[in-house]
Amino acid sequence: MITVLASGPMITVQDLGRPGYRASGVGLTGAMDTLALKLANLLLGNEPGAAGIEIAASGLTIRFEQDMVFALTGGDCNARLGERAVPPWWTMLARKGDVLALQPPRDASFAYLAVAGGLSVEPVFGSASTDLKGRFGGLDGRALRPDDRLRVNPAANPAPATNGPEAGFGLSPRLFEKTPHEPAILRILTAAEYDAFTPESRDALWESEWRLERNNSRVGYRLSGPQLHLEAPMELFSHGILPGVVQLPPSGQPVVQMADGNTSGGYPRLGVIIATDLRRLAQSRPGEAVRFVEVSQREALAAAHEEDAFLRKVAHFISLAAMRSKP
């Protein structure tokens, strides 16, 4: 059991989302940075999609009501377990009564807290993820509040930190560091209406830096840059959309659908950010720059295979660590 001592309006329970229900108007939801959540669970011996806590915009303080192994991934929250500092991308054993204090992520937009066994949350449409728009999933479809109590599933596999060094262990942050002052590169597959834009607008899409605006959310990220235009006015029937789709509203500035994005819309589509790169946009902060690069479907699939291979390597490393930590 975990007790929430302090929380904020964007601290929610998330897993990898609820695919397969978009035709019924139910969005994907899930972690904004799916790779970070998967890695937190791998560090603990959980299934990759086990439910954890997504931290954004504000801090979180919890008390462990039993001995428990936890992992932190994503942004650096200057975390402290009692008097001990806990680095990002790290797992550690907490004792009953220990308090974990996390500040708002300072180098990214989202951080993730997972526990061995995963949070025990009643699934809705097959997922524990919180849908803030629909007000379901997670804990009553809302953000966490002080005095909330979260149950934890029994750990199926003993986490390496259980018998490991008191300081814990983890992954090198260098694996996930962004190049300072360089825009994040986002690979895109062009979409149905791409050819309906003027040649100048298509060139500007690839050649320009786009900056994240401040009024962004789990629903969508707005970008600012050159004004984009269609060759001629266009009216579209509402059509299905998914996270990563880059649309052009009447403002002429792109908007990207994110994890809580709409299930349908009628704005012209420039393209879709490939799944492996959407986390880079999610973790970018207001005012930071991104650039778009066109890729083929084959290149998009290769990127997905590359991420899967990386996760397998991490899983192998963790299995070796678990063997070495056995008494």
Q: Does residue 313 lie in a domain region?
A: no
Q: Can you list the alpha helix ranges (DSSP code H) found in 255-296?
A: 275-283
pLDDT of residue 171: 82
**pLDDT tens digit sequence for 218-247:** 999 999 999 999 999 888 888 889 999 999
Q: Hey, what amino acid is at 259?
A: A
Residues 199 and 285 reside in one and the same domain: yes
Q: What's the helix, strand, coil split of the chain in %, to 5?
A: 20, 30, 50
pLDDT of residue 280: 95
Q: Give the range of the structural domain holding residue 236, as residue numbers without chain letter.
A: 184-295
pLDDT of residue 219: 96
Q: Does residue 150 lie in a domain region?
A: yes
Q: How many domains does the chain have?
A: 2
Residues 159 and 219 reside in one and the same domain: no
Mean per-residue pLDDT of the chain: 92
Residues 201 and 281 reside in one and the same domain: yes
Residues 224 and 142 reside in one and the same domain: no
* 25-30: average pLDDT: 93
φ and ψ of 78, to 5 deg = 50, 50
pLDDT of 160 > 90? The answer is: no
Question: Where is pLDDT greater, at 326 or 222?
Answer: 222
Q: Does residue 312 lie in a domain region?
A: no
Q: Does residue 317 lie in a domain region?
A: no
Residues 223 and 276 reside in one and the same domain: yes
Residues 207 and 238 reside in one and the same domain: yes
Residues 241 and 272 reside in one and the same domain: yes
Q: Which of 28-32, 200-204, 214-218 has the lowest mean pLDDT?
A: 214-218
Q: Give the residue carrying structure tokens 């490991």.
A: 164
**pLDDT tens digit sequence for 91-112:** 999 999 999 999 999 989 999 9
What is d(CA 169, CA 89) in angstroms, rounded to the nearest whole number?
9
pLDDT of residue 319: 77
Q: Can you list the alpha helix ranges (DSSP code H) found in the chain?
A: 34-44, 199-207, 275-283, 297-325
pLDDT of 163 > 70? The answer is: no
Residues 277 and 149 reside in one and the same domain: no
**pLDDT tens digit sequence for 54-83:** 999 899 999 999 999 999 999 999 999 999
**pLDDT tens digit sequence for 118-157:** 999 999 999 999 999 999 999 999 999 999 999 999 987 7
Residues 264 and 154 reside in one and the same domain: no
Residues 20 and 136 reside in one and the same domain: yes
Residues 49 and 166 reside in one and the same domain: yes
Q: Does residue 123 lie in a domain region?
A: yes
Residues 6+ away with beta carbon under 8 Å from 208: 225, 226, 291
The rounded percent of the chain whose pLDDT value lies above 70 is 94
